[in-house]
Amino acid sequence: MINTAIPCSEPWGMLPGSQPVRLFTLRNAQGMKVAISDLGATLVSWLAPDRAGRLGDVVLGHDTPAEYLASTAYMGAIVGRWANRIAGARFVLDGVEYTLDRNEGPNLLHGGNAGFHRALWDAEEDDGGLVMRLHSEEGEAGFPGNVDVTVRYSLDDEGELSIEYGARSDAPTPINLTNHAYFNLTGEPGTDIRGHVVSIESDRFFEVDAALIPCSESLVAGNAFDFRQSAPIGARLDWPHAQLTIAGGFDHCYVLPGTALEGRPVREVARAYDPTSGRELTVSTDQRGLQFYTGNFLDDEPGRNGSRYARHAGFCLEAGAFPNEINRLERDHLIVRPDKPYRQVTKYRLGVAANA
Ligand code: GLA
């Protein structure tokens, strides 16, 4: 009998320089299997049952570490030090201006040139979960502070994958981490996510400029961005809206309910349901922002088992701070200091919908 509480690991190829990469597997009593690599602390695969009990992979992934290194899709990775964009690749902290990597036009995207998603993390089993650790040197991508990051993945028997983030720094620095999993609950490679029915508990989102930097807050009421009542992604993608044209689909941060900047409870904020398989995903987080991204940049991306991923082959629900929030007036809560570590908890739960 398999002890589902202990993650097992296997070799998963080599990085240039002969560094071995490993793949760890978490299992639960429902037969779910979640594979996570120490390359990028990446969620590589999540096998979950459909309404008939058949296992299917609900996240997009590549077959090899080399494909992860070559890709710009950030599939399933932990993204940092700063997830999403920082406008002008700069910010000012305690009177000092910091200049960051410009890896998307004049802006920083997802941690800059190196990024946590391409790093090899230390991994160890911890009380049934998997703990990944990464050291990020002062000056990485231009950020101050030597930072030690911890990400703990754990899977329970109800199908909930918890991701608990922590980071410490020896000097003040902004930190904003997220997981960049692309979900496609059909479990069928090569399909799109237009039929998924999504709800997001939010009445506001950030409109973006042509470089996808948030420029103003906008209400969702009466337009394509309103997911307070569940709606199929495809129908909404077809709804004329200048913001969908700019981004080629949804690539926008929703403002989650609650005014607290810190110490927020973990609460359910979004759901996605796939009518074909009956699978349902629930997202809970203590963060203020939720980036809804419909895989608009996917363009013949190498997928699992030789498949290819086209535009809208997957969607992401990335919990974190608001993009470019470090350049907003109210941003002290984003600064990690030696006596103030970074914390985040986000949970993805997979099941079969009650009426499926
Ligand atoms: C995020 C961004 C997108 C895109 C993807 C990665 O979700 O918001 O614009 O950069 O990552 O391709």
CATH code of the domain containing 256 = 2.70.98.10
In tens, the pLDDT along 84-101 reads 999 999 999 999 999 999
Residue 1 domain flag? no
Q: Provide the β-strand partners of residue 109.
A: 85
Per the structure, how many domains does the chain have? 1
pLDDT, position 8: 83
CA atoms of 251 and 232, how far apart (whole Å): 16
Residue 2 domain flag? no
Pocket residue to mutate for ligand 1, from 108, 110, 117, 180, most atoms within 8 A of Cβ: 110
pLDDT, position 2: 47
Residue 3 domain flag? no
Residue-number span of the structural domain to which 32 is assigned: 8-352
Cα-to-centroid distance, 317 and ligand 1 (Å):
11
In tens, the pLDDT along 264-281 reads 999 999 999 999 999 999
The pTM of the full predicted model, rounded to 2 decimals, is 0.97
Residue 156 domain flag? yes
Residue 332 domain flag? yes
For the chain, helix (H) and strand (E) counts, in that order, are: 3, 29
Residue 337 domain flag? yes
342 SS3 class: strand
Q: Which two tokens stand for residue 270?
A: 């979004």
Ligand 1: list residues with CB < 6 Å: 73-74, 84, 109, 212, 251, 291, 293, 297, 316, 318
Atom of ligand 1 minimally distant from the CA of 323: 8
Atom of ligand 1 minimally distant from the CA of 109: 10
Give me the residues of the chain with pLDDT under 50, please.
Answer: 1-3
pLDDT, position 128: 86
pLDDT, position 56: 98
Task: Give the closest residue to 36 by CA, choosing from 15, 14, 9.
Answer: 9
141: left (phi over 0), alpha (psi -120 to 50) or beta: left
pLDDT, position 1: 41
Residue 270 domain flag? yes
254 neighbors 205 (Cβ within 8 angstroms): yes
Burial class (CB in 10 A: 0-12, 13-18, 19+), 348: buried
Residue 117 domain flag? yes
